[in-house]
Amino acid sequence: MFEKIKKSKQLALMMSERVGDYLSLLKIETKMQGAVLVKQAIGFAIAAIFGLLATVFLGVAIIVSFWESDYRILVAWLVFLAFGAGAGAGLFLARKHVAPSEPFSHVRAEVQRDIDLIKETL
């Protein structure tokens, strides 16, 4: 029993020494996640703006092409439905591919490794 108490004291000392390492790793991962999110947000914003402009001008071009025909109203509604279907497909794809990796996974792995080490020694 005294051996287990001695080991737990040693493990407590090790864990207290590693707290600084955990905080440093957490700070690094926070900066990395922030940089990735900023780059993704900028890229998606640029893509959204130009995609929206291209889509609007495509719709106008299609409607203008049929302006002098009897199908003008039908074409306008078909363009609207096509844009709605494209928006729905975009939302489906965006929700399907959200967050491929968990944030702070390295910190979680290090803490779990230390917890496993403590369990093995006790």
- Asked if residue 81 has pLDDT above 90, the reply is yes
Mean pLDDT of the 81-95 span: 88
Q: H helices within the chain, ranges in order?
A: 2-65, 72-96, 105-121
pTM recorded for the entire structure: 0.48
> For 7-58, how does the pLDDT look when each residue is reduced to its tens digit (9 = 90+)?
777 777 777 888 888 888 888 888 988 888 889 889 999 998 998 999 899 9
Q: H helices within 66-104, ranges in order?
A: 72-96
